[in-house]
Structure 1
C-alpha cells in the first residue's frame, strides 16, 4: 500500500467529515477531498466504513501524540486542567471538535464505526489515566478513587465540554470554572497535615460507601 496514498485518503476522510458531515461522507467525497480516484478507497481499505474506522484511529493517534509530552509534565489536577484548556482551544480552532461530533453521530447508527470511535477515544483515556494515577498517588483520594473509571469520566466530561462550546459558550466557560474550583479543593486537601488528611480519607471512604449503597 502506498503510504502517500493511504495518508491522503485518511486525511481526505477527516476533511470530508469536517466539511460534509457524516451523512455526506462517501467514496466520492473522500476521494475529492484527497485528490485521488475514488476506486482507491476500495483498493486500499475495502469499504468506506473501514476507511472511516481507520481515519478515526489515525487522526486520534496524531492528536494524542501531540499532547503526550505535556501530559507527562502534569503533576497536579490544576496542571491537567491547564493542558485540557489548551487542548480544548487548539482542537476547536483546528476543526477537530466538528470531526469528533460527526464521529459520535455516526457511531449512533453504525456498530462498526461505534467500535472504532470507542477505540480511538480510548487512546485519550489511557493518557488521562496515567496522569491521574501519578497525580492522585499521594492524595487522600488516591486510596479510594477508581482511577480507570475516573479517567473515563474526565475524558467524557472534556468531550462533552468540547461539544457544548459550539452551542453554549457561556455554559462551557462555567464548566471550566467549576473544574477550577474542584482543583483548588483537591489542592487544599493535599496541603492538610497528617491528622487532617487521615480524617479526609475516612470522610471520602464513607462518602464512597454511601454512594455505592445508593
Structure 2
C-alpha cells in the first residue's frame, strides 16, 4: 500500500470511529483529525468535502464488512448455522463501530441530498446482499410463497440500524441477544423445509 493510500485509509478509519463514538453532528474535520492523530487539512487533500469523506468512509466500511459476511456465510446451507454466524458478525459490527457509524450517517443524510443518495445506494447494496442470503433458504421451498424475501431483507436492515440506535440511548445490548434467541425457532422451521442433504 502506498503512503497516499495508507493516509486515506487512516482518515476513513478515523471517520468511522468518530461517527460511532461521537455521532454525526460532532463529526467535524477537527474531531476526525483528533481521532486519527493528523491535522484537519490532510482531509481536504484527499477528499473534496466532508460529504465526500462520509460517503467514502461508508463505502470503505461496507466493503470490508460485506467481504467478511461473504467469507463467513458463503458455504452455509442450514438456517440455524446461518443465524449463529450472523449473530457473531453482528457482534463484530458493533465492536468495529460499523453499525453505529452507518446509523449516524443515515440520520445525518437528511441535511444533504447528495449524502442521502450515497447513503441510500449503500443501504441498497446491503438490502440486495441480505435478500440473496434469505433467498438461499426460501427459494424452492413452500415458504417462498408466504415470505417476501426483499421485504424481509429491508426489515432485517431496519432491525440492525434501529437496535443500534436504541442501544445508544440506554446502553442496553441485551435486546439484540434476545431477538437472536427468538429467531432460533424460525431458523429451525426453515431447516425443516430444506432437503436433508442440500446440494
Q: TM-score over 0.5 for the alignment?
A: yes
Q: For structure 1, which runs of at least 5 residues remain unmatched after alignment?
A: 192-214
For residue 66 of structure 1, report the CA deviation from its aligned partner: 1.4
- In the TM superposition, structure 1's runs of 4+ consecutive aligned residues that sit over 6 Å from their partners are none
Asked whether the 8 Å contact 1:18–1:98 carries over to 2, the reply is yes
SS in 2 for 1:142: helix
Partner of 1:200: none
What is the count of residue pairs matched by the alignment?
192
Pairing 1:17–2:19 present: yes
Greater RCO structure (CA 8 Å; 6+ sep): 2
Question: Which of 159, 173, 180 pairs up with 2:184?
Answer: 180
Distance of aligned partners of 1:4 and 1:174 in 2 relative to their CA distance in 1, 3 Å threshold: closer
Question: Which of 88, 91, 94 pairs up with 1:89?
Answer: 91
Distance of aligned partners of 1:98 and 1:145 in 2 relative to their CA distance in 1, 3 Å threshold: closer
- How high is the TM-score relative to the length of structure 2? 0.81
Give the distance between the partners of 2:19 and 2:160, measured in 1 at CA. 21
Q: For structure 2, which runs of at least 5 residues remain unmatched after alignment?
A: none
Distance of aligned partners of 1:171 and 1:12 in 2 relative to their CA distance in 1, 3 Å threshold: closer
In our comparison, the structure showing a higher alpha carbon Rg is: 1
Give the distance between the partners of 1:101 and 1:91, measured in 2 at CA. 12
